[in-house]
Amino acid sequence: MVKTLIIGGGGMVGRKLAESLQKDETDEDLTLFDVIFPPETHGFKNRITGDITDPDVTNALAAARPELIYHLAAIVSGEAEADFDKGWQTNMLAFWRFLEALRAEHLASGGTYRPRVVFTSSIAVFGGPFPEEIDDVFLSAPLTSYGAQKASSELMLSDFSRKGFVDGISIRLPTICVRPGKPNKAASGFFSGIIREPLNGQEAILPVPTTVRHWHASPRAAVGFLRHSATLDLDLLEGRRALSLPGISCTIEEQIEALREVAGNDAVKLIKHVPDETISGMVAMWPRNFATERAISLGYEAESSFREIIEIYLQDDMPKPS
Amino acid sequence: MVKTLIIGGGGMVGRKLAESLQKDETDEDLTLFDVIFPPETHGFKNRITGDITDPDVTNALAAARPELIYHLAAIVSGEAEADFDKGWQTNMLAFWRFLEALRAEHLASGGTYRPRVVFTSSIAVFGGPFPEEIDDVFLSAPLTSYGAQKASSELMLSDFSRKGFVDGISIRLPTICVRPGKPNKAASGFFSGIIREPLNGQEAILPVPTTVRHWHASPRAAVGFLRHSATLDLDLLEGRRALSLPGISCTIEEQIEALREVAGNDAVKLIKHVPDETISGMVAMWPRNFATERAISLGYEAESSFREIIEIYLQDDMPKPS
């Protein structure tokens, strides 16, 4: 394994990425960094806990000169919106300082150190009004602080890469579905909840109309996107180093029909429609569909149906009866 | 006059803006800030010299609580490309700190202080390949550090504005032509030079083919853009606070024909074609044409022909025989 660092290795996707890397090789050259680690990660040998906004921390991470860096750490959308300071400090300024620290290592190495940086951006860089499908040349006009922070980070990573200090790519992941584990408080949480809870025999709340269309990929696809980004020849990007990735565009109604096919009517009956104006208003501003021709031509692969996304949850994450 | 600050008041456009404001009212409430001031500005009462990258300076500028701020200061494209550090520090990080200082004043005022910020961005936020015309929803994928710095500043200003800390707009000016004064070393300098020098009876060098198409507006139009941005109701922007402004798209050949109409064959004969591969290569990557429907519908006005641009030079800037 090339010397690898996962920033945000304690999160759901970071952990799955680490497990995937470990499956192929030993974890000798794998370091996970996060502010806190859940018990599932305690098997990994090299774990560093710290605050990414501390310049000593970013300097130390860069000084170890990892060859491959996956950057998945972020203050999530809701928190970045509520805490303006924390969002910009963590999602933009800390990333800027980290790039500066990598540039310092590049210069100190006489130009030989030039790490691959895979940065997870988000479809939140897009703000409405949208066309039916968002294509590869549609503008980034974010309507959240989180989206603005991700979009400016994309610009920085592109310029540091163009100058040859790092070799970076920003990948805009679809909403990851079905998220395993307990419901979380993210406004988008119900997209996973209405599948996961019924499959586990529990009630789920649907706060928006079933006509709502959204953009999904599985956690397994997310790991695939990240790993593909690690080895892709980035010269193929021809300077446009931010990429919207493939996914499945479907309505809630289509999600529910897929659930019915997989788990029957009894599962579907566990979905309770409790309209929430606030959540409906937020969701109405989110992207619904993409035409990701560039990513597809570069070899990125997602699921081909929402049913497949449900089946991946059953295979990878469904709690086994004890 | 509302209490007004021009950051970059010593530059060509900043000075013309100051003169335009002074024509309408006294300059009592007008402050010019720049790193250095040319003699032409010595008539303005309130001039502050300083380094915009010094946090004490940005804090002091914000602490005076100007109601209207024109931000025109920047490390220019060529220098930002040559000096990576200086470009990012000045064009991005200093702007970030200035916005933070304005936010601090907003909060200290209990939310009553919320200045209008008119930020001059650039068509350098766009990078090729381009469509025939760049429309209002085309992506920002800059291919220079200057463009990346301007594009990230746009994102920051939009988010600070969305949150209500300031009321900002980013305007992407066309290349300003005909620039008065002596030739400068900007790669784009010849677009002005091939008009200005012949009008003044001097030889001019054309380093690119006459088929090259580019995007122009006069200094007078630039002042108009800035002043229009000061009073426009920015709610009309519906969250998309970065705007490409109208201009004239024409080829070098069309520029030269306009010069012939205005000043005759003898003037045109002063243009010497000395091909320069480096400049031709740079110019090939620059935007050529825009469809600026949003800006036009919001009342921004540019010239309607390149001949008009030449006539404005003759009226406003042509040195008078002494």
Domain range list for chain B: 4-174+218-244
Mean pLDDT across B210-233? 97
| Chain B residue numbers touching A141 (CB-CB < 8 A) | 158, 239-240, 242
Q: Which pLDDT score, from 0 to 100, does residue B231 have?
A: 96
User: What local confidence, expressed as pLDDT, does residue B151 receive?
Assistant: 98
Other beta carbons within 10 angstroms of residue B83's beta carbon come to: 14
Identify which of B139, B148, B240 has the shortest CB distance to residue A137.
B139
- Give the C-alpha separation, A262 to A258, whole Å: 6
Distance CA B13, CA B221 (A): 10
**B89, β-bridge pairs:** none
Which candidate, A45, A49, A38, A46, places its Cα nearest to that of A16? A38
Interface ipTM > 0.90? yes
Closest in A127, A138, A155 to B152, CB measured:
A155
Burial of residue B278 (number of CB atoms within 10 Å: 0-12, 13-18, 19+): exposed
Amino acid at B75: I
pTM above 0.90, yes or no: yes
The residue whose two tokens read 């690898």 is A4
Chain A with chain B: Cβ pairs closer than 8 A: 64
Percent of chain A beyond pLDDT 90?
A: 89
| Per-residue pLDDT reduced to its tens digit, B90-142 | 999 999 999 999 999 999 999 999 999 999 999 999 999 999 899 999 999 99
Choose the CATH number for A4-174+217-244 among 3.40.50.1380, 1.10.600.10, 3.40.50.720, 3.40.47.10: 3.40.50.720
Higher pLDDT among residues B65 and B188, named by residue: B65
Taking residue B222's Cβ as centre, other Cβ atoms within 10 Å add up to 23
Q: For residues B59 and B52, give the distance between their C-alpha atoms in angstroms, rounded to a whole number.
A: 10
* Cβ–Cβ below 8 Å for B139 and A143: no
Q: Is the predicted pLDDT of residue B155 greater than 80, yes or no?
A: yes
Which residue's structure tokens are 């090339």? A2
As a whole number of angstroms, the distance between CA B169 and CA B70 comes to 10
Least confident of A8-22, A176-190, A291-305, B152-166: A176-190
**Residues above pLDDT 70, as percent of chain B:** 99
What is residue B281's predicted lDDT score, i.e. its pLDDT? 85
Flag if A163 and B145 touch (Cβ within 8 Å).
yes
* Residue A29 confidence (pLDDT) above 90: yes
Task: Please judge whether B155 and A142 are an interchain contact, meaning their C-beta atoms are less than 8 angstroms apart.
Answer: yes
Class of domain B4-174+218-244: alpha beta
Dig out the tokens for B11 from the structure.
């530059």
pLDDT computed for residue B60 by the predictor: 98
Cα A175 from Cα B260, distance rounded (Å): 59
Q: In the predicted model, is pLDDT for residue A73 greater than 90?
A: no
The rounded mean pLDDT for chain B is 95
**Residue A266: pLDDT over 70:** yes
For residue A85, the chain B residues in CB contact (below 8 A) are none
B107, two tokens: 């909060």
Q: How confident is the model at residue A322 (pLDDT cuts 50, 70, 90)?
A: low
Please name the residues in contact with B121: beta carbons below 8 A apart, sequence gap of 6 or more.
B150, B151, B153, B154, B170, B171, B172, B173, B242
What are φ and ψ of residue B197, in 5° steps?
-60, -50
Nearest to A240 among B96, B131, B141 (CB): B141
Single-letter amino acid code for the residue at A160: F
Q: Going by DSSP bridges, is the β-strand pair A175-176/A46-49 parallel, antiparallel, or unpaired?
A: unpaired
pLDDT for B283 equals 85
Nearest-neighbour CA in chain B from A145: distance (Å): 6
Task: Give me the phi and psi of B54, to 5 degrees please.
Answer: -85, 115
With beta carbons less than 8 A apart as the criterion, state whether B28 and B22 touch.
no
Q: What share of chain A is helix, strand, coil (3-state, %, to 5)?
A: 45, 15, 40
Question: What residues of A are in the B interface, CB distance below 8 Å?
Answer: 84, 93, 96, 127, 131, 136-143, 145, 148, 151-152, 155-156, 158-159, 162-163, 239-240, 242
